[in-house]
Structure 1
Amino acid sequence: MPKMIPTIAAAAMGAALMAAPAHAGGVKVGTLTCDVEAGWGLVLGSQKDLSCIFKSATTGQISYYTGDITKLGIDVGYTNAGVMVWTVVAPSTDMQPDALEGDYAGATVGATAVVGGNLNAMVGGLDKSIALQPFSVEGNTGLSVTAAVGAMELRHTKTIH
């Protein structure tokens, strides 16, 4: 199995890129950076807490969010805490500070063998109009395999102008 993990990871990440939402009419409005807690993935899924910062690409405004990310499907193994970064795409640049608040859903696939990551393309937020496109995963270490449907909830906590 350990020799197969890089192959599984490559196939899973390729599938995630093909499944990533296409928002031709959308505009890049900023980046969302989330610290993800460490934890075990159980055979049928996992849930981890998030602490996130959204930085607007147009105004430089910073908004803080808390939440959780849940995976339902195959999620086996342990991962240490990590950082996930998404490019945020919205219908327009005219957004309220709490516009990212809400529920998101998407595919979650990947593998970690010492160092690795998952790709999590998600859609949700205000009227399901916000797309979170994976930008990078840092510090995700451990041993796990994931092929699941991901759900994420974000709650706005404060904004700094």
Structure 2
Amino acid sequence: MKTIVKAGFAAALACAGLAFAAPASAQSVQIGTLVCTVQPNVAFVVGSVRNLDCSLRPATRSTRAGKYAGTIRRFGLDIGMSGKQTLVWGVLAPTRRVSPGDLAGTYVGASANAAVGVGLGANALIGGSRNAITLQPISVEGGTGVNLGLTVSDLTLTVR
């Protein structure tokens, strides 16, 4: 079990490194931070579905705060149990002027996470309005549980 957890942490860190290394479009600017609360979950071997309660915290005055309901689906190796978690993404957009509904839509990307107690995860996702929004690159997964995941992820956000 210890070897599996170490491999999961290494995969999460590698995914995070790749996400940091891949530069965003030269036209993208950070407009804020998306903070999501995830309810406790039991994950099965082939994937999981989790509901999220999210809010956009603007980095500039030209971006408005917004609240979103979300569902994240993970397909691949996703095993374990987790308590309540918090995911945090930096939000990049082609312009500083983003309305609250602009983050609504579907995002896809890769995820890696591991936890024994507090977890670490990397979830690099692209999508939203006109596929122009990027959620970069690490979502810090703070929570309790025992979990290992190497998955393709699908996040859907709707305005609340």
Structure 2: which 5+ residue stretches go unaligned?
none
1:76 aligns with 2:76: no
1:89 aligns with 2:92: yes
Give the structure 2 partner of residue 140 of structure 1.
143
1:23 aligns with 2:29: no
Give the structure 1 partner of residue 119 of structure 2.
116
Give the structure 2 partner of residue 129 of structure 1.
132
Matched position secondary structure for 1:92 = coil
- Check 1:19–1:137 CA distance in 2 against 1; reply closer, same or farther (3 A cut): closer
Instruction: Give the structure-2-normalised TM-score.
Output: 0.90
- Check 1:12–1:65 CA distance in 2 against 1; reply closer, same or farther (3 A cut): same
Cα pair 1:19 1:107 within 8 Å, conserved: no
Tell me how far 1:138 sits from its aligned partner.
4.6
- Greater fraction of residues in helix: 2
Cα root mean square deviation, aligned = 1.7
Tell me how far 1:14 sits from its aligned partner.
1.1
For residues 75-117 of structure 1, the C-alpha deviation after alignment (integer angstroms, 9 at most, x for no partner) is: 0010111111111000111222210000001101021112222
Matched position secondary structure for 1:61 = coil
Measure, in 2, the Cα distance between the counterparts of 1:66 and 1:147. 24
Give the structure 1 partner of residue 38 of structure 2.
36
Measure, in 1, the Cα distance between the counterparts of 2:12 and 2:84. 21
Matched position secondary structure for 1:64 = strand
Q: Which stretch of the first structure deviates more once superposed, 112-121 or 31-40?
A: 112-121
Cα pair 1:33 1:52 within 8 Å, conserved: yes
Identical-pair percentage: 35
